[in-house]
C-alpha cells in the first residue's frame, strides 16, 4: 500500500454521478474480510455486476473504451459510511488518483492514508474534463504532486490543488501517520483528569 | 473574542499542531466493532506494537450479529470469523470486550452512552461514521477510518485537520408527532448531504434544550448525513441527570468534581461560528425520504419534487416513484425499528404508543430490534414486549440488523421498507431494497395500516 507518489500521467475512468456514497463503492456485504485483500474485485459491485454476477456491459468499469489509474467522479464523492474498505477497493482496483469537485471528509482521509491521492478541482475543470474524456477516451491527465497541479492534457487547462505539506511529504516518501505518531509517543501527557478522574 | 465549545474541547486535547499540517489530537475513548478493526489489529501485530492505553478502549460486535438465536454460533462462517476475530484481538491486546450474549452487548453507539462511557468534554472516536451520536453527551465524537483506529490503538492520538465550526439553532416548539428524527431529516433536506462537510456542528435552541437524551442522541447520530464530521449539544441538567449513577460515570466526590467542570462546557456568548443556521420548529412536520440519499426527503403530506437533474431521476427510478407524486397511502412491505439512530427505549415507547389498541397490518413484515440488551430489558420491564406481541409484533435480539443488512436481516429486492435507520442508499438494506427513512412514529403508523400514513392521525 505504501507507494511513493510523484507525477502520474494516465488516461481516466469517468463516473459522472454525484453523491457516490461508500455503500456504492463497496456494499456492506463485502465488508466481512479480516484483511485488506480482494476489495478491488467488488469495487462498485452492484453497478458493475448483475444479480447473477455477470458484468453489466454499460457500466464504465466494464467498458474497454476506458482505463487508466485516474478515477474522475462527480461532486461529493465518498459520502456516508466511514468504511476504509472503500479506499482499499479503489486502491485494490488499481486507481492511484481520484479527481472530483468535492470529497466527503472521512473518505478523503481514508484515501490519503492508503496512498490514493484525492484531487479536488473546480466544477468548471471537472465539467471540461468529463467532456474531454467523452470526446477522446484516450486523452490523458497529468497529476503532479510535487507541484500540486493537475493538467487536462487535451485542452492544456491546469489547476493547482490543495494538500497540506505534512501529508504531501508522507505521500512522496511513503510514510504513514503511525510512523509519525510512534516517534513522539513518549511526549504524550498522562490521560487528562477532566473526566471525573478516570 | 469568546470560544466555541468545540474550540474548548478540541484545544484541551491538542498534543501538537504540525506546521502546515494536521493536529495531533489526544483521544479519550476509542470504541471498536468487528467490521472496521481487524486490519488495524493486524497492523499493530505487523509492527510489533501493544496498545498504549488499553483501559480507554472498549470493543463489541454489533454489525454482523444475528437478531435471533444469539446463543448459537453465527451461521454465516464469514460473519462468525469477523466476530470471533474481534474477541481474540480484544483478548490479545488486553481490551474490554462485550461479546454477543453478554448482558452489556449492543450497538456501540447505544451502549457507550447508556453505560456512562461517553462523557461530556471527551474526544471519542470509532471506525464508524455514526460515532457522532456520542456528541449528544457534550463530547467531540466522530467517525474515523481503520488506519486511524490503528493510530489510536498504538498512540491514543490521531492526526486530524481541525474542522470549521457551525451552529444550527432550532427555535420554537416541535408539533405533535414531530420527533428528533424529523428535525434531522428536515436539516438534511434543507442543507443537502454535503452541506455541513468540513464542519463540526453545535445544535442549539429551544427545541434542542427541550429534547430528552434519547432524542439528542438521535439528532447527533444523523450529523454525518449532512456531511458534518460530528455534531454535539452542550451538556446541561438533562445530560447530568441521565449520566448520574451510570456504571462508568464518575461517582461520589469524583462526580461532584466532574459536574463542576462539565458546567463550564458551553460556547461563550461572544463566540463566533464559521457558519450559523437558524430554523423554526413550526416548519417541521413528520418526514419521509423518497430518494437514495438521506437529503432527498419531504414532509409526509408533501409531494416528491417535480424537477431534478440526472441524479434525481436515477434515484426515483431505483425507488419506483414518479416526480410530483404524493407518497401518503402507498403500500409498504417491511418496517424496521432500530439502529443506532432509533434503537433506544424512547423509540420503542413511541412505536408502542401508535400501536396501542391496533394490530399489525396483514402482509407487513416488521423487525423490531432493540439497540442493546439494556434496551431489551427495559422494554420487557415496561411490558411493551407483551403489548406489542398481542398486536402481532416480535421483539428481536439487539444489533445493527437491517440498517445495513450485514446479517440475515435483508430487505428483498424491490420491496419497500419504512426504516428508522439512517441511510437510504441503493442496496443499503439488501441488493435492490427500497428504503424510506422515517421516525418510529411514522414507522408504527405504516406498520398498523400497511401504507404510508401520517402518524398524527393515529395519535
Q: DSSP of B275-288, one letter per residue?
A: EEEEEEGGG---EE
Tell me the nearest-neighbour CA distance from B329 into chain A, angstroms: 29
Band of the pLDDT at B82, cuts 50, 70, 90? Answer: very high
Helix (H), strand (E), coil (C) string for B91-159: HHHCCEECCCCCCCCECHHHHHHHCCCCCCCCEEEECCHHHHHHHHHCCEEEECCHHHHHHHHHHCEEE
Nearest CB neighbour to A177, from listed B85, B143, B159: B159
Q: Does B212 touch chain A (CB under 8 A)?
A: no
According to the model, what pLDDT value does residue A188 have? 78
Tell me the nearest-neighbour CA distance from A17 into chain B, angstroms: 7
- Which residues in chain B are contacts of A185 at CB distance < 8 A? 52, 154-155
A contact residues 42-81, partner B, Cβ 8 Å cutoff: 46, 51, 74-76, 79-81
Q: Please answer whether residues B418 and B299 qualify as being in contact, where contact means their C-beta atoms are separated by less than 8 angstroms.
A: no
B contact residues 389-408, partner A, Cβ 8 Å cutoff: 404-406
DSSP designation for B399: S
Q: Using CA coordinates, name the residue in chain A closest to B200.
A: A105
Q: Using CA coordinates, name the residue in chain B closest to A29.
A: B406
Name residue B140's beta-bridge partners: B123
Quick one: average pLDDT of A14-42? 96
Name the helix (H) or strand (E) containing A23: helix A22-25
Nearest Cα residue to B391 out of B434, B335, B438 = B335
DSSP designation for B60: -
- Rounded Cα distance between B435 and B293, Å, is 10
| Percentage of chain B exceeding pLDDT 90 | 100
Q: Does B143 touch chain A (CB under 8 A)?
A: yes
- Rounded Cα distance between B366 and B389, Å, is 12
Instruction: Return all residues near B158 (Cβ < 8 A) that are at least 6 apart.
Output: A177, B24, B25, B27, B125, B144, B148, B151, B152
* Residue B323: all three cell numbers together: 416526480
The pTM score is 0.96
Instruction: Return all residues near B390 (Cβ < 8 A) that are at least 6 apart.
Output: none
According to the model, what pLDDT value does residue B313 have? 97
Candidates B61, B87, B129, B402: best to mutate against A (most CBs of A within 10 A) is B129
Q: Does A183 touch chain B (CB under 8 A)?
A: no
Nearest CB neighbour to B144, from listed A21, A35, A82: A82
| Percentage of chain A exceeding pLDDT 70 | 94
Q: How many C-alpha atoms does A46 have within 13 Å on its Cβ side?
A: 22
- Rounded Cα distance between B439 and B451, Å, is 15
According to the model, what pLDDT value does residue A186 have? 77
Band of the pLDDT at B345, cuts 50, 70, 90? Answer: very high
Nearest Cα residue to B50 out of A182, A128, A87, A156 = A182
Candidates A32, A78, A91, A108: best to mutate against B (most CBs of B within 10 A) is A32
Tell me the nearest-neighbour CA distance from A139 into chain B, angstroms: 25
Question: Average pLDDT of chain A?
Answer: 93
Q: Does A176 touch chain B (CB under 8 A)?
A: yes
Q: Does B414 touch chain A (CB under 8 A)?
A: no
Q: Does B96 touch chain A (CB under 8 A)?
A: no
Is A28–B129 a contact, with Cβ atoms under 8 angstroms apart?
no
> What is chain A's alpha carbon radius of gyration, rounded to the nearest angstrom?
18
Q: Does A82 touch chain B (CB under 8 A)?
A: yes
- Which residues in chain B are contacts of A192 at CB distance < 8 A? 12-13, 26, 28
Query: Where do the domains of chain B lie, and which CATH numbers do they carry?
Result: 5-161 (3.30.499.10), 164-235+267-283 (3.40.1060.10), 287-457 (3.30.499.10)
pLDDT of A141-180, one tens digit each? 999 999 999 999 999 999 999 999 999 999 999 999 998 9
pLDDT of B239-293, one tens digit each? 999 999 999 999 999 999 999 999 999 999 999 999 999 999 999 999 999 999 9
Q: Does A106 touch chain B (CB under 8 A)?
A: yes
Phi, psi of B387 (to 5 degrees): -60, -45
pLDDT of A83-140, one tens digit each? 999 999 999 999 999 999 999 999 999 999 999 999 999 999 999 999 999 999 999 9
According to the model, what pLDDT value does residue A191 have? 65
* Residue B242: all three cell numbers together: 441521565
- Rounded Cα distance between B238 and B120, Å, is 12
According to the model, what pLDDT value does residue A192 have? 57
* Residue A166: all three cell numbers together: 505534512
Tell me the nearest-neighbour CA distance from A164 into chain B, angstroms: 5
pLDDT of B223-240, one tens digit each? 999 999 999 999 999 999
What CATH number was assigned to the domain covering residues A7-187?
3.20.19.10
A contact residues 109-168, partner B, Cβ 8 Å cutoff: 109-110, 113-114, 164-167
According to the model, what pLDDT value does residue A3 have? 83
- Which residues in chain B are contacts of A104 at CB distance < 8 A? 194, 197, 227
Does residue B200 register a pLDDT over 80? yes
- Rounded Cα distance between B158 and B149, Å, is 8
Domains of chain A by residue range:
7-187
Q: Does A32 touch chain B (CB under 8 A)?
A: yes
- What CA–CA distances, in Å, run from B184 to B210, B228, B457? 15, 12, 22
Is A17–B314 a contact, with Cβ atoms under 8 angstroms apart?
yes
- Rounded Cα distance between B331 and B274, Å, is 44
pLDDT of B106-122, one tens digit each? 999 999 999 999 999 99
Written as one string, the DSSP assignment of B317-373 is HHHT--TT-B-TT-B--EEEE-HHHH-SHHHHHHHHHHHTT--PPTT-EEEE--SBH
Does residue B23 register a pLDDT over 60? yes
- Rounded Cα distance between B210 and A124, Å, is 45
Question: Average pLDDT of chain B?
Answer: 97
Instruction: Return all residues near B84 (Cβ < 8 A) that are at least 6 apart.
Output: none
Is residue A138 classed as helix, strand or coil in its secondary structure?
Answer: coil
ipTM over 0.85: yes
CA B285 to chain centre: 21
DSSP designation for A49: B
Is residue A181 classed as helix, strand or coil in its secondary structure?
Answer: helix
Is A81–B423 a contact, with Cβ atoms under 8 angstroms apart?
yes
Amino acid at each position: 500500500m505504501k507507494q511513493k507518489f510523484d507525477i502520474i500521467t494516465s488516461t481516466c475512468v469517468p463516473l459522472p454521478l454525484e453523491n457516490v456514497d461508500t455503500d456504492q463503492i463497496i456494499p456492506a456485504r463485502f465488508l466481512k474480510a479480516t484483511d485488506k485483500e480482494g476489495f478491488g474485485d467488488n469495487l462498485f459491485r452492484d453497478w458493475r455486476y448483475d444479480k447473477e454476477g455477470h458484468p453489466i456491459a454499460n457500466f464504465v468499469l466494464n467498458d474497454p473504451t476506458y482505463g487508466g489509474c485516474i478515477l474522475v467522479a462527480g461532486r461529493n464523492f465518498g459520502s456516508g459510511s466511514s468504511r476504509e474498505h472503500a479506499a482499499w477497493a479503489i486502491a485494490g482496483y488499481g486507481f492511484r488518483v481520484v479527481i472530483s469537485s468535492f470529497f466527503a471528509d472521512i473518505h478523503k482521509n481514508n484515501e490519503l492514508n492508503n496512498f490514493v491521492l484525492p484531487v479536488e478541482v473546480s466544477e468548471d475543470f471537472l465539467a471540461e474534463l468529463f467532456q474531454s474524456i467523452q470526446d477522446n477516451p484516450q486523452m490523458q491527465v497529468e497529476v503532479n504532486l510535487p507541484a500540486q497541479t493537475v493538467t487536462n492534457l487535451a485542452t492544456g487547462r491546469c489547476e493547482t490543488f490543495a494538500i497540506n505539506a505534512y501529508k504531501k511529504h508522507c505521500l512522496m516518501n511513503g510514510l504513514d501517520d503511525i510512523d509519525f505518531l510512534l516517534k513522539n509517543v513518549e511526549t504524550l501527557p498522562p490521560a487528562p483528569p477532566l473526566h471525573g478522574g478516570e | 473574542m469568546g470560544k466555541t465549545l468545540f474550540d474548548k474541547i478540541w484545544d484541551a486535547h491538542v498534543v501538537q499542531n504540525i506546521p502546515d499540517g494536521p493536529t495531533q489530537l489526544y483521544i479519550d475513548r476509542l470504541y471498536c466493532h468487528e467490521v472496521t478493526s481487524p486490519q488495524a489489529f493486524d497492523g499493530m501485530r505487523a509492527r510489533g506494537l501493544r496498545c498504549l492505553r488499553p483501559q480507554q478502549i472498549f470493543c463489541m460486535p454489533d454489525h454482523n450479529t444475528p437478531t435471533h438465536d444469539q446463543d448459537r454460533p453465527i451461521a454465516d462462517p464469514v460473519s462468525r470469523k469477523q466476530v470471533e476475530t474481534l474477541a481474540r484481538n480484544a483478548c490479545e491486546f488486553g481490551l474490554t470486550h462485550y461479546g454477543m450474549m453478554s448482558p452489556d452487548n449492543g450497538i456501540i453507539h447505544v451502549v457507550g452512552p447508556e453505560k456512562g462511557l461517553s462523557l461530556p468534554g471527551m474526544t471519542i472516536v470509532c471506525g464508524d461514521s455514526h460515532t457522532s451520536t456520542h456528541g449528544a453527551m457534550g463530547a467531540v465524537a466522530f467517525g474515523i477510518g481503520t488506519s486511524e483506529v490503528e493510530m489510536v490503538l498504538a498512540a491514543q492520538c490521531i492526526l486530524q485537520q481541525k474542522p470549521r465550526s457551525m451552529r444550527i439553532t432550532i427555535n420554537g416548539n416541535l408539533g405533535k408527532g414531530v420527533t428528533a428524527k424529523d428535525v434531522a431529516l428536515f436539516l438534511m433536506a434543507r442543507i443537502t448531504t454535503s452541506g455541513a462537510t468540513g464542519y463540526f456542528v453545535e445544535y442549539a435552541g429551544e427545541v434542542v434544550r427541550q429534547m430528552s437524551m434519547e432524542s439528542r442522541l438521535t439528532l447527533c447520530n444523523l450529523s454525518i448525513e449532512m456531511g458534518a464530521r460530528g455534531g454535539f449539544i452542550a451538556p446541561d441538567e438533562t445530560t447530568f441527570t441521565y449520566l448520574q449513577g451510570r456504571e462508568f460515570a464518575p461517582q461520589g466526590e469524583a462526580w461532584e468534581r466532574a459536574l463542576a467542570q462539565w458546567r463550564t462546557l458551553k460556547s461563550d456568548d461572544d463566540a463566533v461560528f464559521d457558519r450559523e443556521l437558524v430554523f423554526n420548529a413550526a416548519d417541521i412536520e413528520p418526514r419521509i425520504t423518497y430518494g437514495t440519499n438521506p437529503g432527498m426527503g419531504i414532509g409526509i403530506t408533501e409531494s416528491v419534487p417535480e424537477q431534478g437533474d440526472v441524479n434525481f431521476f436515477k434515484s426515483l427510478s431505483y425507488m419506483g416513484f414518479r416526480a410530483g407524486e404524493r407518497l401518503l397511502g402507498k403500500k409498504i412491505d417491511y418496517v424496521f425499528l432500530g439502529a443506532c439512530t432509533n434503537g433506544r427505549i424512547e423509540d420503542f415507547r413511541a412505536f408502542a404508543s401508535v400501536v396501542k389498541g391496533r394490530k399489525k397490518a396483514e402482509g407487513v413484515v416488521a423487525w423490531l430490534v432493540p439497540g442493546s440488551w439494556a434496551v431489551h430489558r427495559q422494554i420487557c420491564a415496561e411490558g411493551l414486549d407483551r403489548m406489542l406481541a398481542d398486536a402481532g409484533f416480535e421483539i428481536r435480539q439487539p444489533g445493527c440488523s437491517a440498517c445495513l443488512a450485514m446479517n440475515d436481516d435483508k430487505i428483498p429486492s424491490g420491496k419497500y421498507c419504512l426504516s428508522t435507520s439512517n441511510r437510504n442508499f441503493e442496496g443499503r438494506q439488501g441488493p435492490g431494497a427500497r428504503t424510506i427513512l422515517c421516525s418510529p412514529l411514522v414507522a408504527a403508523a405504516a406498520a398498523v395500516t400497511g401504507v404510508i400514513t401520517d402518524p398524527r392521525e393515529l395519535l
